Amino acid sequence: MKASKIVVIAVIILLISGSVFAQKFGPDPGKKKELVKQYRDLELLKILDLTEEESGKVLPIIKEIDKNRETFHFKFKQVLEEIEFALMHNEDEARISELNNKLIKLQKDFEKERTKLHKKLRSHLSEEQYAKFLIFNLNFVKQLKERIKSIHEKPFLKR
């Protein structure tokens, strides 16, 4: 009886310790992505110098633009995987053509929706603000990477 209790306790301890060590430390990738978006939005609002009312109109459109891009990338990757599968399994040319057309349509639909959302955003901004938005988007990722790199390059303070 004592031996079986010890075995049960040992198994429980192993399961708990295994699950603890299997977890990654730090915020999950989804949380990091949201934090970056929030940071981006704050920086963008500073650059655009929007009123609270203007921010209330512009931010939802920017979120729509993000969602459109994320959905496109997800679907694009799925179709590419289908194409790769079809090629690996020597599917007929009609199937491959169908998948290629699906990918092209997906790209066209994305661009159409992206253009529509940018026109909507532009209608809520001045020409200068919209130009700043475009430039900001072009440079944001590069600047973020540079900031992260500079943080990692700074030596720790000696205590």
pLDDT score at 3: 52
pLDDT in tens, 40-71: 998 898 999 998 899 999 999 999 999 999 99
Residue 6 is given by DSSP the state: H
In this structure, are residues 83 and 100 in contact, taking their beta carbons and an 8 Å threshold? Answer: yes
Say how many C-beta atoms besides its own lie within 10 A of residue 91's C-beta: 15
Q: For the chain, give the percent of residues with pLDDT over 90.
A: 57
pTM equals 0.71
Q: Give the tokens for residue 94.
A: 């009609």
Question: Which H or E element spans position 128?
Answer: helix 127-153
Other C-beta atoms closer than 10 Å to the C-beta of 121 total: 19
Q: Are 99 and 83 in contact (CB under 8 A)?
A: yes
Q: Where are the domains of the chain?
A: 27-153
Q: What is the mean pLDDT of each run of 10 residues along the chain (159 residues)?
A: 52 52 59 86 91 92 96 97 95 96 97 98 96 93 81 65
